[in-house]
Chains A and B, each alone.
Chain A
Amino acid sequence: MSIIDYDPSMLMAILPELLLLGLAMVVLAADVIWRPSQRRFLAWLTAGGMTAILVLALIFSRPDASQGLILGGMLRHDWMAFAFKLLFLFAGAVTALISLDFPGVGERGEYFALLAVATLGMSLMASAADLIMLYLAIETTSIPLYILAGFIKVDDKSTESGIKYFLFGAMASTVMLYGFSLIFGFAGETNLYALAGKLAAGQVSPWVIIGAAVLVLVGLAFKISAVPFHFWAPDVYEGAPTPITAFVSTASKAAGFAVLLRVMLAVFPQVEAEWTAIVAAMAVATMTLGNLIALAQKNIKRLLAYSSIAHAGYAMIGLVAISQLGSASVLFYLIAYVVTNLAAFGVVVLFARAAGSDEIADYAGLSRRSPGLALALMVAILSLAGMPPLAGFVAKVYVFAAAVQTGLVWLAFVGVLNSIIGLYYYLVVLKVVYLYRSEDEDKPIAVPRGAALGLAVCLAAILIIGVLSGPWLDWSLGASAALF
């Protein structure tokens, strides 16, 4: 690969990224030009822009049959990356919609510009095929997210959340960078797809490769908040502005998985047995710990934080089952999880705006205050619990199926037993919403049109993915074929 391979058509492959950069600038410009009263339309502008980019990407940037490396081997334009890009754009658009009128962020141009840049970074993470590019992409994603988490400066919790996220994140990424440098040192190569061959040819001791793999895993485990690198998640999720919590817990986590899938499968086939054992152990710990601690939570954001830790564990099952069905099930799981969690956080945002609280106890009487919002929360929560006909059910079935297929029946059992613990705390939330009475029952909850649209899209997606999962699964299987 050299600069000579450059072909203008490659620009079409990174059209979404280019347009996202443009969108960030447009948002910043609009922030300056628009009068304060108009600035609430920044959310619409961002959401509309991302939706438009999603549509344009679908038309112009589909990978061709070669699914090859582009731009000097920096990126790989394959269906897996493309699928993730669409997912990030969707998550970004919904996040922008639920940020509409959110106190402290809803009228700030920087906020939406950073959101666009973070989405850009994630898109690059999904397609990066070179260690250098990968690192840059990860940082392009992380730095805006650190700022966004601490965006509400007057709120101590938000500030704490930003700093905590930054410190943990910086630590994890240095460890990962150390792993990268080891790999480069032994292989003399930075391209992900050339590395495995070089490592094999260089007769590097497998222990060194395992060491490097572990260091890389640390960085990525932080991104997907896998145990034991999950400590930041609950505090950050609780303190960050809720729309950002939604974004970090969905898109950012999915981006981590995108990299994890690509790097582990492409670079470390020689030590496959070892790293799958490590990831399997992490998956068990992540599911179990996330679910057990979630049982004790009284705050809905923290509950969803621990539940999202647990969900990372389920998705890791699919990774451990190294197979096409396994990777497809991870992608499918993430799609289902992203739309579901966005819906759940959407309800949390709307409720908090009206009631000023994130305590689960305050959700009492929600089904009488706002039957629609209660229904939305029920659908999201049941999907998280893995109940049909919702997306979460089929996603879990596929992940467990992948595990059983590769003979990891024990892991599937750990998974299903964990989903029972999950069901308990999810049902407790539903109980509060539907059963308990409160004094505020007659105070209705206003749902702005933008947020209603975002929620409706997510709910429709949860149902459609759940009932008609065929095309999505075919698509995931096709996308994951690119990894093998």
Chain B
Amino acid sequence: MQSFPILSVIVFTPIVAGMLILMLPGERKTEIRMTALAAATFTFLLSVWAYFSYDKALGGYQFVEKYTWIKALGISYHVGVDGMNLPLVLLTGVVMFTGVLISWGLDDRPREFFALLFILATGVFGVFVALDLFHLFFFYEIAVFPMYLLIAVWGWQVTREYAAMKLTLYLFVGSVIALVGALAIYFAAGLNSFDLLELEQAGLSTTFQRFWFPFVFFGFAVLGGIFPFHNWSPDGHVAAPTAVSMFHAGVLMKLGAFASLRVGFMLLPEGAQYWAPVILGLATVNVVYGASIAMVQTDFKYVIGFSSVSHMGLVMLGFATLNKNGLTGAGLQMFSHGVMTALFFAVVGMVYDRAHTREIPKLGGMAKALPLVAVAFIIGGLVSMGMPGFSGFIAEFPIFLGLWQTAPVVAIIAALGIVITAAYVMRVVRNVFFGDMPKEFVGHIGSINSLDKVALVLLSGIMILIGVYPSVMAPLVESGAEAVLRLFGGG
């Protein structure tokens, strides 16, 4: 127990800042941006602090806060972090901070933009630290709706209305179905408590678990982009403005994966065991199919969008192995992919803002005009391929190790996805950043500003740090994975 409620401060700083921003006059854009940056920096620093002051030797849930919220139904405001969700809190802090940096130049109603973005951030933080089922839902849906306006109003004009509506409806369908499942769990447990830690011990019957697992798991996994419910994701990513794409692919998809782990796997372990082969199968499709589609896209942003589908498949594969290696890898992959894809979308945004096109065949030679951007993208690409020395390897290697233990065939097929990934990354690097720059761009590609540079360096630096010094994160996630496995009767 810590006296300073650090998690609550992390959760509520964004929304409080968002409300403050709403009260500023809309035309004072500099003040609005400064407030946003200040809040994002503060939250980022706090999440870093929380990350490093977590006591690994002690393990378990730390920084726990618990207050009665709705007594009649046994609902509490209950937060805490362990090895599984602490990296995700850090991830959200990083993406929020870099997202604000990248959006500095946004000129259309920045007040509403940052306010919505921060409401979204509060929702995301709230889910990651939740130890109460109702609490989790509450924040989960807070994270869903701002997305609609963020994409519809500030997104890419061609597809934004369609993509925003599709995304919101998909996610809402998933969440309400999971909600019914959660209510069923609550009443079946009969503990008059929504507390996740108590529900974990409820001893629900096998039939019940097998029946309800798909509702809860797929309800959340929609947001994790699992095949065949991934369809909203590339469209949504592409239509969204840069910072929102970063948030969305970087953090929100983890929200879905994490919630399906926390509620699906951890509350219904027997259901998870029963359905694990199905998840393995679907997630393999994710990995291979996502990568193959990314290969044939001509739109730079769609390539990244489908690469997210592919990488999230690896996370789901890791979950479904139900062993320590797989789960540890999945936890690391959530973090690594979050940082990587945020970097990717930031790069895409920077290129698009200058070239005004994302068609890969029309681009070229960007490395000359934007050297740092090119370097950052290549680092991201190496992470994406799972190259040793970068965070991707640290995450993907244990996943495949775990897969090999449970389902070698799946491991072989999924490895195919990695090969295709290498191919499409190299294709993008060659066609966008190298080769000859088309004539119309020569002299027209302005350099990026220092805020952008800070964001790129930070994101790339984190991926390299974890790559060369895995101890900074791997043991932590491993302890989280062990905690999950204890619910499956073993370690």
Q: Which chain A residues have a beta carbon within 8 Å of chain B's beta carbons?
A: 367-368, 371, 375, 382, 385, 387-389, 393, 397, 400-401, 404-405, 409, 412-413, 416-417, 419-420, 423-424, 427, 430-431, 434-435, 469-470, 473-474, 477
Asked if residues A416 and B169 are in contact (CB atoms below 8 Å), the reply is no
**In the complex, which of the residues B138, B152, B179 contacts A400, with contact meaning CB atoms closer than 8 Å?**
B179
Instruction: Supply 14 A–B pairs (Cβ within 8 Å), ascending by A.
Output: A385-B145, A389-B142, A397-B137, A400-B180, A413-B180, A419-B176, A423-B172, A430-B148, A434-B149, A434-B153, A469-B70, A470-B72, A474-B71, A474-B72
Asked if residues B180 and A404 are in contact (CB atoms below 8 Å), the reply is yes
A393-B138, A473-B72 are contacts. A416–B179 as well, Cβ < 8 Å?
Answer: yes
Asked if residues B187 and A404 are in contact (CB atoms below 8 Å), the reply is yes
Asked if residues B73 and A401 are in contact (CB atoms below 8 Å), the reply is yes
Residues of A within 8 A of B161 (CB): 431, 435
Q: How far is the CB of B24 from chain A (nearest CB, A)?
A: 11
> Is B200 on the interface with A (CB-CB < 8 A)?
no
A435 vs B149: C-alpha distance in the bound complex, in angstroms? 8
A404-B184, A416-B179, A430-B148 are contacts. A387–B142 as well, Cβ < 8 Å?
Answer: yes
Q: How far is the CB of A432 from chain B (nearest CB, A)?
A: 10
**In the complex, which of the residues B22, B139, B173 contacts A375, with contact meaning CB atoms closer than 8 Å?**
B22
**Interface positions of B from 392 to 438, Cβ below 8 Å from A:** none
B58-96 interface bits toward A, Cβ cutoff 8 Å, 1 = contact, 0 = none = 000000000011111101000000000000000000000
B433-462 interface bits toward A, Cβ cutoff 8 Å, 1 = contact, 0 = none = 000000000000000000000000000000
Asked if residues A473 and B73 are in contact (CB atoms below 8 Å), the reply is yes
Asked if residues B180 and A387 are in contact (CB atoms below 8 Å), the reply is no
B37-72 interface bits toward A, Cβ cutoff 8 Å, 1 = contact, 0 = none = 000000000000000000000000000000011111
A102 vs B15: C-alpha distance in the bound complex, in angstroms? 36
A470-B69, A473-B70 are contacts. A367–B112 as well, Cβ < 8 Å?
Answer: yes
Q: How far is the CB of A151 from chain B (nearest CB, A)?
A: 37
A401 vs B70: C-alpha distance in the bound complex, in angstroms? 14
Asked if residues B172 and A470 are in contact (CB atoms below 8 Å), the reply is no
> Is B26 on the interface with A (CB-CB < 8 A)?
yes
Residues of A within 8 A of B106 (CB): none
Asked if residues A371 and B183 are in contact (CB atoms below 8 Å), the reply is no
Chain A CB within 10 Å, residue with most, of B139, B164, B176: B176
Asked if residues B139 and A388 are in contact (CB atoms below 8 Å), the reply is yes
Asked if residues B180 and A416 are in contact (CB atoms below 8 Å), the reply is yes
**In the complex, which of the residues B68, B153, B183 contacts A401, with contact meaning CB atoms closer than 8 Å?**
B183
A393-B141, A470-B69 are contacts. A427–B177 as well, Cβ < 8 Å?
Answer: no
Asked if residues A423 and B179 are in contact (CB atoms below 8 Å), the reply is no
Asked if residues B70 and A427 are in contact (CB atoms below 8 Å), the reply is no
Asked if residues B180 and A427 are in contact (CB atoms below 8 Å), the reply is no
A388-B141, A424-B165 are contacts. A435–B73 as well, Cβ < 8 Å?
Answer: no
> Is B168 on the interface with A (CB-CB < 8 A)?
yes
The 3 closest A-B pairs by CB, nearest first: A416-B176, A470-B70, A404-B183
Asked if residues B165 and A427 are in contact (CB atoms below 8 Å), the reply is yes
A477 vs B192: C-alpha distance in the bound complex, in angstroms? 15
Q: How far is the CB of B325 from chain A (nearest CB, A)?
A: 37
Asked if residues A387 and B184 are in contact (CB atoms below 8 Å), the reply is no
**Interface positions of B from 119 to 162, Cβ below 8 Å from A:** 134, 137-139, 141-142, 144-145, 148-149, 152-153, 161
Asked if residues B183 and A412 are in contact (CB atoms below 8 Å), the reply is yes
A291 vs B475: C-alpha distance in the bound complex, in angstroms? 51
A388-B139, A473-B72 are contacts. A409–B184 as well, Cβ < 8 Å?
Answer: yes
Residues of B within 8 A of A417 (CB): 173, 176
A477 vs B26: C-alpha distance in the bound complex, in angstroms? 44
A388-B142, A434-B152 are contacts. A416–B184 as well, Cβ < 8 Å?
Answer: no
* B175 and chain A: residue at smallest CB distance: A416
* A469 and chain B: residue at smallest CB distance: B70
A423 vs B172: C-alpha distance in the bound complex, in angstroms? 8
Residues of B within 8 A of A434 (CB): 112, 149, 152-153
A430-B148, A477-B72 are contacts. A420–B180 as well, Cβ < 8 Å?
Answer: no
Q: How far is the CB of A118 from chain B (nearest CB, A)?
A: 33
A477 vs B70: C-alpha distance in the bound complex, in angstroms? 12
A412 vs B180: C-alpha distance in the bound complex, in angstroms? 7
Residues of B within 8 A of A424 (CB): 165, 169
Apart from A409-B180, A420-B169, A427-B148, what 7 extra A-B contacts exist at CB < 8 Å? A387-B141, A388-B138, A416-B177, A420-B173, A420-B176, A424-B169, A473-B70
A400 vs B148: C-alpha distance in the bound complex, in angstroms? 25
A242 vs B26: C-alpha distance in the bound complex, in angstroms? 31
Asked if residues A431 and B152 are in contact (CB atoms below 8 Å), the reply is yes
Residues of A within 8 A of B112 (CB): 367, 371, 434
* A419 and chain B: residue at smallest CB distance: B176
Q: How far is the CB of A49 from chain B (nearest CB, A)?
A: 33
Q: How far is the CB of B183 from chain A (nearest CB, A)?
A: 4
Residues of A within 8 A of B139 (CB): 388
A470 vs B70: C-alpha distance in the bound complex, in angstroms? 4
A405 vs B165: C-alpha distance in the bound complex, in angstroms? 32
Residues of A within 8 A of B71 (CB): 470, 474
Q: How far is the CB of B156 from chain A (nearest CB, A)?
A: 13
Residues of B within 8 A of A371 (CB): 26, 112
Q: How far is the CB of B236 from chain A (nearest CB, A)?
A: 14
Residues of A within 8 A of B165 (CB): 424, 427, 431
Asked if residues B26 and A397 are in contact (CB atoms below 8 Å), the reply is no
Residues of B within 8 A of A419 (CB): 172, 176
Residues of B within 8 A of A413 (CB): 177, 180
Q: How far is the CB of B166 from chain A (nearest CB, A)?
A: 11
Residues of A within 8 A of B179 (CB): 397, 400, 416
B325-336 interface bits toward A, Cβ cutoff 8 Å, 1 = contact, 0 = none = 000000000000
Residues of A within 8 A of B152 (CB): 431, 434-435
A409 vs B179: C-alpha distance in the bound complex, in angstroms? 11
A20 vs B415: C-alpha distance in the bound complex, in angstroms? 76
Q: How far is the CB of B171 from chain A (nearest CB, A)?
A: 10
Q: How far is the CB of A324 from chain B (nearest CB, A)?
A: 10
Residues of B within 8 A of A409 (CB): 180, 184
Residues of A within 8 A of B72 (CB): 470, 473-474, 477
A434 vs B113: C-alpha distance in the bound complex, in angstroms? 11
Residues of B within 8 A of A385 (CB): 145
* A472 and chain B: residue at smallest CB distance: B70
Residues of A within 8 A of B22 (CB): 375
Q: How far is the CB of A360 from chain B (nearest CB, A)?
A: 15
Asked if residues B73 and A430 are in contact (CB atoms below 8 Å), the reply is no
Residues of A within 8 A of B180 (CB): 400, 404, 409, 412-413, 416
A368 vs B134: C-alpha distance in the bound complex, in angstroms? 36
Asked if residues B168 and A427 are in contact (CB atoms below 8 Å), the reply is yes
Residues of B within 8 A of A473 (CB): 70, 72-73
* A405 and chain B: residue at smallest CB distance: B187
Residues of A within 8 A of B148 (CB): 427, 430
Q: How far is the CB of B192 from chain A (nearest CB, A)?
A: 11
